Amino acid sequence: MGYEAGMKVLVLSLAVVAVAGIRPSKLVRQVPAMYVLGDSTLDVGNNNYLPGKDVPRADKPFYGVDLPGSGRPTGRFSNGYNTADFVAKTLGFDKSPLAYLVLKAHNKLIPSAITRGVSFASAGAGILDSTNAGNNIPLSQQVRLFASTKAEMDAKLGPGAVSHLLSQSFFLLGVGSNDFFALATAQAQQNKTATQSDVAAFYGSLLSNYSATITELYELGARKLGVINVGPVGCVPRVRVLNATGACSDAMNQLAVGFNGALRSLLAGLAPKLPGLAYSLADSSALTQATLANPLALGFASTDSACCGGGRLGAQGDCTPAAALCADRDAYLFWDSVHPSQRAAFLGAQAYYDGPAQYTTPISFKQLAGM
Ligand SMILES: *[C@@H]1O[C@H](CO)[C@@H](O)[C@H](O)[C@H]1NC(C)=O
Ligand SMILES: *[C@@H]1O[C@H](CO)[C@@H](O)[C@H](O)[C@H]1NC(C)=O
Ligand SMILES: *[C@@H]1O[C@H](CO)[C@@H](O)[C@H](O)[C@H]1NC(C)=O
């Protein structure tokens, strides 16, 4: 290419960049707002504002190393964006709505709640208040924070307008892994395995609290609910490292699979009782199992180790500025010893939005948003 032609291309690309810069609204929103509740897979900074030395926080490098621009930690438990961000992107937003506590601290809660949404997700949270109690915003509290936010929105816009806005908005819910990690820890400490009746009682309390959460969100105005089920908790590096051969814990995976089946029935039974509620249940469990069965097809060279960590499987050390980083972060399923890499989160959101039909029940996130 001659110099002149080269310049033309360069000028043209600069023009494209300039236009894109001026008009990021090229993104077409499929819903007016998004409200997020759940755990560290969705947290975008709430925990950075929670007091307490045992609160899990992704506030140090190398968290955020791949975020565009800054490359700095934001509270996301990822090398870059997380699942909430990528679901938001598929729906036409630039990223997840900001964290409730961040918005509160900057006096921007209601403007954001009205124009794009709020994230209540908190790392460490479970379906049960008792899970990691005191070190996160538990799910029931996240719902209460949403209720108080809605009351303020009502005061600003009027309840009719708010109820219309909420009915069109996307509610993303992803929680449950921490309840299973907490159960496994408690069992190990007591040196026992759960009996069938322990498991039944555990499922019972998870389901009754999940059901209460969904019903409360519905009563507050939610009509489009995207729910991500519990992944193979027995395959995270932190659990694998407990096994001499690095194998997944089948027992933990089976517990999660049993719960996921019950969650599927719960939603199918609950929806007809809540007129106007539509939902999409995303199968994080099946998607991750498919990835584990055929990692190279998806470009993953490692599915058992943390990219950022230390020791065996990268799971014997935390992801800190002193940690060892893997060479190709996109080739790792896991970023740290528990959380998916940015690329894994991206692939998950794509699958839930518009991927193979088997990964969402009864409809996809795209169909849900479009209703
Ligand atoms: C279950 O939900 C109820 C009502 O939301 C809440 O008060 C209770 O603390 C929850 N139980 C647990 C164990 O989280
Ligand atoms: C746990 O139970 C096993 C089998 O009953 C026993 O051999 C082991 O010593 C126990 N470990 C602890 C820490 O109590
Ligand atoms: C490690 O994993 C293998 C394969 O699943 C299993 O047979 C073995 O019992 C596990 N070991 C421990 C200590 O859990």
| pLDDT per position as a tens digit, 73-125 | 999 999 999 999 999 999 999 999 999 999 999 999 999 999 999 999 999 99
Residue 366 confidence (pLDDT): 98
Q: Is the peptide bond before 365 cis (omega within 30 degrees of 0)?
A: no
Question: Which of the pair, 136 or 70, is modelled with greater confidence?
Answer: 136
339 noted as active-site residue: yes
Dihedral Cα 268, 280, 80, 73, nearest 10 deg:
-60
Residue 193 confidence (pLDDT): 87
Q: Whose CA is nearest to atom 1 of ligand 1?
A: 209
Q: Of residues 122, 336, 341, 364, which has the active-site annotation?
A: 336
Q: How far apart are the first and last CA of the chain?
A: 50
Give the nearest ligand 1 atom to 212 CA. Answer: 5
**Above 90 in pLDDT, residue 227?**
yes
Q: Whose CA is nearest to atom 3 of ligand 1?
A: 209
164 noted as active-site residue: no
Give the nearest ligand 3 atom to 250 CA. Answer: 5
**Mutational test site, ligand 1, from 209, 213, 220, max ligand atoms within 8 Å of CB:** 209
Mean pLDDT of 316-340: 97
What distance in angstroms lies between residue 238's CA and the mean position of ligand 3's atoms?
Answer: 15
DSSP H or E stretch at residue 172: strand 170-174
What distance in angstroms lies between residue 98's CA and the mean position of ligand 3's atoms?
Answer: 42
Contacts of 19 (CB under 8 A, 6+ apart): none
pTM of the full structure: 0.91
DSSP H or E stretch at residue 303: strand 302-306
Q: How far apart are CA 85 and CA 97, in angstroms?
A: 8
Residue 70 confidence (pLDDT): 85
Q: Is the peptide bond before 237 cis (omega within 30 degrees of 0)?
A: no
Mean pLDDT of 304-312: 98
**Above 80 in pLDDT, residue 128?**
yes
pLDDT band at 362 (very low <50, low <70, confident <90, very high): very high
Token pair of 106 as six digits: 């900057």
**Above 90 in pLDDT, residue 211?**
yes
**Above 70 in pLDDT, residue 182?**
yes
| Helix, strand and coil in the chain, % to nearest 5 | 50, 10, 40
Q: Whose CA is nearest to atom 4 of ligand 3?
A: 247
Q: Whose CA is nearest to atom 7 of ligand 3?
A: 247
Residue 15 confidence (pLDDT): 39
Beta-bridge partners for 99: 119
Residue 12 confidence (pLDDT): 39
Q: Of residues 43, 339, 341, 364, which has the active-site annotation?
A: 339
pLDDT band at 324 (very low <50, low <70, confident <90, very high): confident
Mean pLDDT of 179-190: 94
pLDDT band at 194 (very low <50, low <70, confident <90, very high): confident
Q: What is the tens place of the pLDDT at every residue in 141-180? A: 999 999 999 999 999 999 999 999 999 999 999 999 999 9
**Above 70 in pLDDT, residue 198?**
yes
Pocket of ligand 3 (CB under 6 A): 243, 245, 247, 250
Pair 206, 179: CB distance under 8 Å: yes
Give the nearest ligand 1 atom to 131 CA. Answer: 14
Pocket of ligand 1 (CB under 6 A): 128-130, 140, 205, 209, 212
Looking at every residue in the chain, the average pLDDT score rounds to 93
Domains contained in the chain, CATH given:
3-370 (3.40.50.1110)
**Above 60 in pLDDT, residue 24?**
no
Q: How far apart are CA 285 and CA 282, in angstroms?
A: 9
Residue 26 confidence (pLDDT): 67
336 noted as active-site residue: yes
Q: Whose CA is nearest to atom 1 of ligand 3?
A: 243
pLDDT band at 250 (very low <50, low <70, confident <90, very high): very high
pLDDT band at 14 (very low <50, low <70, confident <90, very high): very low
